[in-house]
Structure 1
Amino acid sequence: MTLQRRILILATAVALLAAVGVLAVVRASSRADEKDHVRAGGPAVTPGAVSLAAGDGGRRIVFRNMAWGPHRDELATVATGSPEGARTASGVSCLRFHAAGSTGICLQADRSGVQEGYRAVVLDAHLKEVAAHPLGGLPTRARVSPGGYLAAWTVFVGGDSYAGANFSTRTSVLDLRTGRLEASLEDFTILKDGKPYRSADVNFWGVTFAADERTFYATLATGGRTHLVRGDLGERTVTTLRENVECPSLSPDGTRVVFKKRVPGLPAEAPWRLYALDLASGAENPLAEERSVDDQVVWSDDRTVVYALPGDFGADLYAVPADGSGAPARLMDSALAPAFLG
């Protein structure tokens, strides 16, 4: 082999090694960028400060980010006016979440022990942990009262779906003013059809609070039927109001409840339609959403409700007028458990 040919081979090898090095640097830089700024076909997600304080940063949505990437399952925020815009992720992960009155409730996985469990974490306006309580089952519903003084959560303690009959729930209410925890609404006195009622098959879920920070509404299941109940935390009572009501959500003015209702003839795995109930008159009407919604809706304002439906990355959010008019519209991709703040 001639000297000239040897020099050519050496130069080629050096060039290849240099190219490999450049490629490695580019890929490492790309991964570093992705770590703090992920798009992957969806909205950009960047780490930053997320606040629950009223009036802090304008009107906004705080929610569980479901987009794939390093910030999946973290609480994130966007401006209400641009729900599909770039997201700011907090670093705090929640499976279920709600917030009001500068207070948040975060139901999250607890990996501190030998076996994974769950806990309910009360968050302040800056997402700092204020209190925590262990959960005895799989998180499914969470709510904070309008003033931020009460928090409620529901877990499955048997079964994992509301669609079938083989499940059991436990619903707790925490008074943040006193620290008093009502570990289970099953301990409350039940007034059914005007009479005290007791049964071993009682289950509660889906609490929603009134503005007086004492009254609440929820679902009571017993005897194969569901009921809307009105609760009084001071008296520790719940009173049945109406059958076939699940996951109620009280309107900001306290006059209406939007809920999911089982409709005869629909498939057993997708049995619900959304309805609105006027609490004074008892009149109810279906909303324009014709798909089955297995969620407790959130009011974005006094005219519109928002809810989750299955999506490509777990869940997407939709909005529909609460008076039965209009049509459902996709609000956000890859999002769950929203709270409208500001």
Structure 2
Amino acid sequence: MKNSTRLLVLLLAVVLLGGIGTGAVLYAADRADRRDQEQAGGPAVRSGSVSLRAPGRQLVFRNLAWGPHRDEIATVPAGQLDGERTASGLKCLRFHAASGTGICLQAVHGALDDSYRTVLLDAELHERHVFPAAGIPTRARVSPSGHLAAWTVFVSGDSYAGTDFSTRTAIVDTRTWALDDNLETYAIVKDGHPYQAHDTNIWGVTFADDTRFYATLATGGQTYLVQGDVTGRTLTTLHQNVECPSLSPDGTRIAYKKRAPEASADAPWRLYVLDLRTMTETRTAEQRNIDDQALWADDGTLLYSLPGDFGADLWSTPADGTGAPRQLLTAAVAPAYLG
């Protein structure tokens, strides 16, 4: 056998053995991942490709199942929520998506302290643009068109339950990257009159379109539902005692958490729905404390998180006050329905 032939055979053997070795390592790692998940007793999760434009309706969310894919954005078919989850490898604290645009609020772990950032994503979860975030992430939303995205962070404090917190809410245009980095600079119209105060906080944006949105305004110890105008840079109060609003797909109702007079100070919120035409409130069948910005699964069903064994689970309840709550997905938070 010629030396050149021997060398070629040797090279082919090295490549073949290398491929076998890599495959064995990946297979062993996958088995280890599954073993870890089984031992934790949580839902099955595998790594894979996640697209915001995948065919069919899907639920995308932050996976909280213990194991190597905890905190990663994952997906399951909307019609098979108990199926195996596909995890993307992208970790987020808060997430939302619409029309091929995603928003991911992340922690950046430093040697001495953590910082935070807002990452705007394309349909394949690739970074399009990054903005620094001024504090701990708490809320995120993308407009139905995907052209606008909003996020809220705690600048001080880490809960809405008390009074010693301050928020910062920003809106960005994903077409131009023009940024309104603090909605507190918008002109406020309260009860039909211009209003100014040093204690205003704004959080929990939900978009109607690329101009109008709704949010919570806190001032003077009270909270209000406000309608925002991106072009006019105004906020107009509509209704009192509304926090973390979520606009229905048909644009007629707001789901929100309301401070109930009979509730305790450390668990004050109940889930309500407001008819924007009549300003009539409907209390949902969910009687537990809701500290979340609910998501509309469709025009008649609300989705929200409650504490669970893995940190949080997703529950649903009818929006009209009938029926009863039911657990929809374990070990999950920050959902978005796509497709």
2:327 is aligned with 1:330: yes
Structure possessing the higher radius of gyration over alpha carbons: 1
2:131, 2:166 → 1: CA distance? 20
From 231, 239, 242, give the equivalent of 2:228. 231
2:252 is aligned with 1:252: no
- The count of corresponding residues between Structure 1 and Structure 2 is 312
From 63, 66, 79, give the equivalent of 1:65. 63
2:92 is aligned with 1:94: yes
1:115 to partner: Cα distance: 3.5
CA contact (8 A) 2:34 2:44 kept: no
2:170 maps to: 172
From 315, 319, 323, give the equivalent of 2:316. 319
1:279 maps to: 276
2:93, 2:196 → 1: CA distance? 32
From 143, 146, 167, give the equivalent of 1:145. 143
Q: Deviations over 1:148-204 (max 9, x none)?
A: 000000000111111111111000001112211100000000001111111110000
1:222, 1:108 → 2: CA distance? 29
2:295, 2:51 → 1: CA distance? 19
SS across alignment from 1:35: helix
1:143, 1:113 → 2: CA distance? 30
2:46 is aligned with 1:46: yes
1:32, 1:176 → 2: CA distance? 37
From 103, 106, 110, give the equivalent of 2:104. 106
CA contact (8 A) 2:216 2:243 kept: yes
The code of the aligned residue for 2:51 comes to S
2:336 is aligned with 1:339: yes
SS across alignment from 1:300: strand
1:205 maps to: 203
SS across alignment from 2:31: helix
1:319 to partner: Cα distance: 0.4
1:112 to partner: Cα distance: 6.4
TM-score by length of 1: 0.89
CA contact (8 A) 1:220 1:229 kept: yes
2:90, 2:97 → 1: CA distance? 14
From 154, 159, 166, give the equivalent of 1:161. 159
CA contact (8 A) 1:103 1:144 kept: yes
CA contact (8 A) 2:118 2:133 kept: yes
1:57–1:237 Cα change, 3 Å: same
SS across alignment from 1:82: coil
Q: How does 1:272-311 map to 2 (within 5 A)?
A: 272-311=269-308
Unpaired runs of 5+ in structure 2? 1-25
1:195 maps to: 193
SS across alignment from 2:82: coil
1:29–1:238 Cα change, 3 Å: closer
Instruction: Tell me how large the CA RMSD over aligned residues is.
Output: 1.5
2:216 maps to: 219
1:35 to partner: Cα distance: 2.8
CA contact (8 A) 1:36 1:47 kept: no
Name whichever of 177-186 and 225-234 sits farther off: 177-186
1:31, 1:58 → 2: CA distance? 30
Q: Give me the identity figure in percent.
A: 60
Name whichever of 114-123 and 35-44 sits farther off: 35-44
